[in-house]
Structure 1
C-alpha cells in the first residue's frame, strides 16, 4: 500500500496524477561528493527508503539519527508517448534542504528551501517507457545559516530542539496536464454582498469558467477572458454561509480552462483588528490557541497518516482551544485543509530558527522560501495571522538587524494585506500589526501583577524586553505562556525539559492551567493567547498530551477552564 496516498494540494486538485510515494533506493553521501562521482548515473545504492518519510524517522525504514550532509534517492517512472505530448509535472511537497533532480542522469532542476513545495516539468527529459528519476538532497545544517526551525543543531535532541529531518519529507507526485493550463487561484471574499473575487493565473490566453457550489447546490458561476496570464472575476453568491469558529463552511469551486480542470474551495470569511480586538466576520473572537509543533514519534516532521493530521485538531478542540499557532514549521497543505474544514484558526509561521538575522544577507536565505510558502497557503481561510519569525535572539553577541525584520514584515504585508502580520513573535519587535509577548510565569498571582496595566511603567503591561522593543498601542496577544511541566516517570526526569517547577499532582496542574488562563481572559486588552503546548515533543515535557497523543489527564478539565467569555470580547 502506498503511504500517504491522498492528493497533497486539496485547494488545487487535478484528477490525472500518480503518487510516487513508497519504496525508493537510498544512499547516504556524508562527504557530499556524489556529484563529483557521477552518482546521478552510477550511485552505489545500498538501502531502500519509504518515501515520504525522512531517513531519520522509523517509518522510513532507515532510522539514521546522525547528521547527513547529503542523501540520494532513485526510482523508475513509466511514461507513454501520449504523456510526452502533455506537460509532465513532477511535484515535491517538501525536500530539506537543497534539492537537485535528475531524469535519466540529466539535471532537470534545483530548489532551495526545506519547507516550501516546488515542481519541475520533465517531459523534455523523458522517453517513452521507463525513466530513471534521481534526487540529491543536500542538508549541511552545521555549515550554513539557513532556516531549520526546531531541528537540533547538535547530535542529541536537547531543550526545545528535536530530531532533524533530511531530504524528502512530503509527498512526491507526477501530474499530467495540457500545455495551456491553470497556474493558481486565490480568493477575496466579500461577506456583505455576498460574493467572492477569484484571482487567477494561467499559462496562456483564454477563458476560465468558475462554477461554485455549497453542499452540492450551485450558487454562483462566472467567466473571465484572460488576454495575458492573469485575470480576476467577481461572482455573486446566491447563498451565504459564513466560515466561523468550529464551523468550516466551505464552498466548492470547479475551474475549467480549455482541457484543464481544477477542483478547489474557499471560505466566506473576513478578518480584521479593531479596538484591540480580533474580528472574525466583524464579530470579536478571543483566540484560544495552543502551540502545535507538528512532530510525530514515528514520522518526525511527517504525519504517519492523514487521520493523524485530523486527530491533532480534534485533540486540541477537546481541550477547549479554537485554533493553534503552527510553530517553527510550515505545515503541509492537507493539515491546513483539515483546519479549514473544522473552522480551526491558525497562525502561519516559518521555521525561522537557524537564520542569522544579525546579518544583512538573511533575507536571501529566508524570503524566497517564505514567499513560496505564502503563495501556496494564502487561500486557506483558517490562516488568520502571518508570523514569519520567532524570538530573534542575539547570535554570538550580535543583535538582530532591524532592517532585516522590517523588510520581511513589509514583504509579507505586500503579498497579503488581508491578514495581520507579526514581525517576530515574542521579541524583538521592529514593526508589527500585533504586539505579542511570551511569558512563562508559573504562578497565576505573579502573572496577574505583570498584566495589570495600572502598575506598569510602559503604561500598559509588563514586558521584559522594554529596552529593545517599545509598545506602540497595537493589539496584544500572549502568544506563548503556560508550558506546565509534567514528568511522572522518574527515568526521564534528568533529561526532561519544561518551564519552571512542575505541579505536585493532577489537581495542582489543572488549578495552575485554569489560574494562568483566567489572568489572560480577565485582561480586556489581551485579545488572545497561545498555550505551550498541545503534546510533548521528545524531551520537552510540557504538553497536555504525551508525545504519542495519549492524554495526561481528563482533558474535559481544560475545556471547562477555557469555556468562558473573555473581557476583551465583551469590552
Structure 2
C-alpha cells in the first residue's frame, strides 16, 4: 500500500495503526551503511513562524501548534500540512528516546536534506547550523544528551523570499508558472540518529581502474588512529576475493588498492550493471570500533575526440530530463518504489540515462541507478543563476556543490558533472561574478574528480574555455529548422545559445564532445487543451500521430549526426502545468512506449563511425512542416528555449 492509500485508510479506520508508522524508513545512505541507526521520520510537531519570533526560547518548552509527517515538506499533501504560501521560517520539534544499547557511544544526528538555512538545538543547546537545501549534514549531539530522560530536538529552517540562494525549479512567485513549481521548505529527506565510536570511519572514496582491474579506496578516519587496524574486504556475489589489513599509524586517510583476480573481473555497464561489495572494519586491541559496508562498479568514463566512452567503447547517451517531482510529495518520492519506477519507466521508453535536472536527487535514487545500469549526470539546483535576483550565484554555491561531489563521487552510474544550468549573461570586457563562480565550480569539480567529464554550464553561458564538454539547448519544433540549426557541428560551427538579438553568451566552441542536452518539450495532453496552465514548447500537435512524427524527426536529426555524442529529451513526466512529458505527472504513459523505444534504439551515427540517415527522416520532416500550418499555438510566456 502506498503512502497516500495508507493515510486514507488510517483516517477512515479501514486499518488499525498498531505502532507509529514511519514513512520512507529505508536506510538513507546505502553506499556507506552501518547496522545501527534510528529513523526519525514520522510525526513531528510543527509550526510556521508568522510572528517573526525566530528564537528557540519561544519553541523549546512547549508543544508546537500543529503536526507534520517528516520527511515530507509542509507544502506537500503527504506532509499533512499542505500550505502553499511562502514559508520563510518554520520550526520542528520532537522528543526521542535514545536506545539503552547506545550508552557510552557518540551519537550523530543526520539530516539528508533540509531547505534552506538550518539550525538545530538538542535539549536547549545549539549543536550546529547548515546552509543549503539539497545536501546531507550531521551534528555530533552527544554532549547535549542527558543521562536520563528523552532528548528534545528542535529544528529551525529559514527559506527566505527574495534572498539569492540555490532553489532549482521552486517558484519565486506565489503560484506555479512556466517551468517553476511548488516550493519546498524545511525537512524533505530522512532524519536519523546513528551511534558511533570516537574513532570511526568517514565516507570512503572509491575509484575504479578498469585497465588495471582494481579499485582505489580512500578511507578517512576520524579520531585517534594510533594502534588502529583497518580491514577492507572486496567480495563478489558473496565470495571474498580480496582482503587488506592496514595498520593506520597516525594518518587520517588510508589509501588501499584492491586488485580483482582476472577471472572475477566484470565491468559495470547499462547492459550488465555488476556491483562488488566492499566491507570495512576498524579495530583497536582486538576490539571492533566501527564497521560499514559499501559497493562499487568497475567501469571507466573517457573522451576520445568527440566521442564519449564507457569502458573504452563509444556509447551514445540517450538521456531524458528527469525533474524528480511528485504530485503528492513534491521533491520527495512518496515511497522508495517510486524511485525505482521512474528509472524503469525511462528504460522502457528506450532511454539509457538521465540528466537529474535542477535537483540533487536522494542517495537511494543513485543506488538504484547503480544496480539497474542507468547513466546519470549529476547537477546542482541553481537554474539560471541570474546575476541578480532569486538565484544570483554566490560563494555558497561552491560550498554546497563540493558537498554534492563528496556525497556522490563513488557511484558508477554517475558519468558526468553539470554544476550550473542555463546561466545567461552577455560576454563583456571584464571578469564578472558569473565568470568567477562558473570557473570556480568547474575547477573545484575537476580538482575533486579527475575521472569524469565536466560541463561548466548546461546551455546558454559557457564561460570556461576548453571545458571537457560543450552543449546547447534547442526547443525548435520544426524538424527542418532544427536540422539546419544543429547541422554545423561537423564543420566546427555547432549551434550555440545566444541572446534573442544574437549577443554572445559563451566562449567559443573548441572541438570538444558536444551534445544537445535539451530538446523536444512537445506538448501533449489527453485531459485539456494547450494554455498557460497546460503548455509545451512551440506549436501544439493536433493529433497524437503528429506528435510521433515530430518527435521521430527531431530524434533523427541528433541520432544521425556523426559528431553528436548524445542528447537529452525533455522530459520524462509532466510536472504540474508543464505537459510535455512522455508520462503524466502520476506516471501513466501518454504514448506507445514500444514506438518511442524503436525511434531511439536504432544505431547512432557516432556509434557506427559514419553518418546514418533515417530513411523516413525527410518525409517525416516534410509531413511535419505541412502539418504545422494547422497547429494550435501554446499560449505561454514560456516559449523561451529554456528548462
Q: TM-score, normalised by structure 1?
A: 0.96
Residues 207-286 of structure 1: matches in 2 within 5 Å? 207-226=229-248, 227-238=250-261, 239-258=264-283, 259-286=289-316
Q: Residue deviations 1:364-398, cap 9 Å, x none?
A: 22011111111011111111111010001249x99
Distance 2:608 2:52 in 1: 59
Deviation at 1:188, TM superposition (A): 1.5
Aligned equivalent of 2:620: none
Q: TM-score, normalised by structure 2?
A: 0.85
Distance change (3 Å), C-alpha of 1:493 and 1:560: same
Aligned equivalent of 1:89: 108
Distance 2:484 2:371 in 1: 39
Is residue 415 from structure 1 mapped to residue 445 from structure 2 by the alignment?
no
Distance change (3 Å), C-alpha of 1:217 and 1:101: same
Higher gyration radius (CA) = 2
Determine if contact 1:8/1:93 at 8 Å carries over to the other structure.
yes
Deviation at 1:523, TM superposition (A): 0.5
Deviation at 1:155, TM superposition (A): 0.3
DSSP-derived class of the 2:97 partner: strand
Q: In angstroms, what is the RMSD of aligned CA positions?
A: 2.0
Between stretches 205-214 and 282-291, larger displacement belongs to: 205-214
The correspondence for 2:468, drawn from 427, 433, 438, is 433
Aligned equivalent of 2:413: 382
Distance change (3 Å), C-alpha of 1:490 and 1:196: closer
Distance 1:6 1:358 in 2: 40
Aligned equivalent of 2:505: 468
Deviation at 1:492, TM superposition (A): 6.6
Aligned equivalent of 2:639: none
DSSP-derived class of the 1:362 partner: coil
Is residue 13 from structure 1 mapped to residue 33 from structure 2 by the alignment?
yes
Determine if contact 2:424/2:505 at 8 Å carries over to the other structure.
no
Q: Residue deviations 1:250-298, cap 9 Å, x none?
A: 0011111122110100000110111101100100000000000110000
Between stretches 468-477 and 523-532, larger displacement belongs to: 468-477
Determine if contact 1:524/1:567 at 8 Å carries over to the other structure.
yes
Count of aligned pairs: 566
Aligned equivalent of 2:53: 33
DSSP-derived class of the 1:426 partner: strand
Aligned equivalent of 1:447: 482
Structure 1 residues without counterparts, runs of 5 or longer: none
Deviation at 1:207, TM superposition (A): 2.0
Aligned equivalent of 1:535: 573
DSSP-derived class of the 2:257 partner: strand
Distance 1:115 1:548 in 2: 23
The correspondence for 1:504, drawn from 529, 542, 549, is 542
Distance 1:176 1:454 in 2: 55
The correspondence for 1:115, drawn from 130, 134, 149, is 134
Distance 1:104 1:352 in 2: 35
The correspondence for 2:159, drawn from 111, 133, 139, is 139
Distance 1:27 1:363 in 2: 30
Deviation at 1:103, TM superposition (A): 0.8
Q: Residue deviations 1:328-357, cap 9 Å, x none?
A: 000000000000001100000000137444
Determine if contact 1:225/1:231 at 8 Å carries over to the other structure.
no
DSSP-derived class of the 1:391 partner: strand
Determine if contact 2:474/2:518 at 8 Å carries over to the other structure.
yes
Deviation at 1:490, TM superposition (A): 3.2
Distance change (3 Å), C-alpha of 1:184 and 1:450: same
DSSP-derived class of the 2:77 partner: coil
Distance 1:436 1:454 in 2: 11
The correspondence for 2:77, drawn from 58, 76, 87, is 58
Deviation at 1:32, TM superposition (A): 3.6
The correspondence for 2:403, drawn from 357, 362, 372, is 372
Distance change (3 Å), C-alpha of 1:484 and 1:454: closer
Distance 2:408 2:589 in 1: 31
